Amino acid sequence: MNLWKIASFAIAVDLAVLVLSADVQAKDDGKKIGEYIANITKACLSEGEPFGDMQEIIEEGNPTQNEKCVIACIMTNWGMLSENGEFQPDGVREVHKAIQASDRYLEKYKNIDEVIIAKCGSIDEPEKCDKGYALAECCFKIFAEARR
């Protein structure tokens, strides 16, 4: 699992998170991020419920409803989505601050929080699980574009 990329998403995706971002270049930070993401993910799962790698689920593009709901829960725990499914720009900014504090922060991510807010903030999905998944997908796409 490429934990640093997940962090990217996290921004978005992750969540103070934690923070998710870039490549597997970070050893210490990557371990901390991985532990943070694992804890957030566990909090969103029922006892013994399996869940794969969030980035892989998004890249495959055919998630189950349960996977969408776990991702929405993660986005909510990161503060990027409210309990009732509303996009939270301040949550995106908080995750971005956490990423900026990382030793592995990349300059190309300097204003990525505002890009995410502009491009992902208007996602219109009536159901929270669908909206959380669409938000994560949008964030991953923006981080992928920034890495190019």
pLDDT, tens digit, for every residue of 26-74?
334 555 656 766 777 788 887 667 777 788 888 888 999 999 999 999 9
What is the band of 105 on the pLDDT scale with cuts at 50, 70, 90?
low
Which sequence spans correspond to the domains of the chain?
3-147
* CATH tag, 3-147: 1.10.238.20
**CB under 8 A, 24+ apart: contacts of 107-116:** 108/146, 108/147, 109/21, 109/22, 109/143, 109/146, 112/11, 112/142, 112/143, 112/146, 113/11, 115/142, 115/146, 116/11, 116/12, 116/92, 116/142
Predicted model pTM: 0.74
Task: Give the pLDDT confidence score for residue 48 in this predicted structure.
Answer: 64
What is the band of 103 on the pLDDT scale with cuts at 50, 70, 90?
low
Average pLDDT over residues 126-138: 95
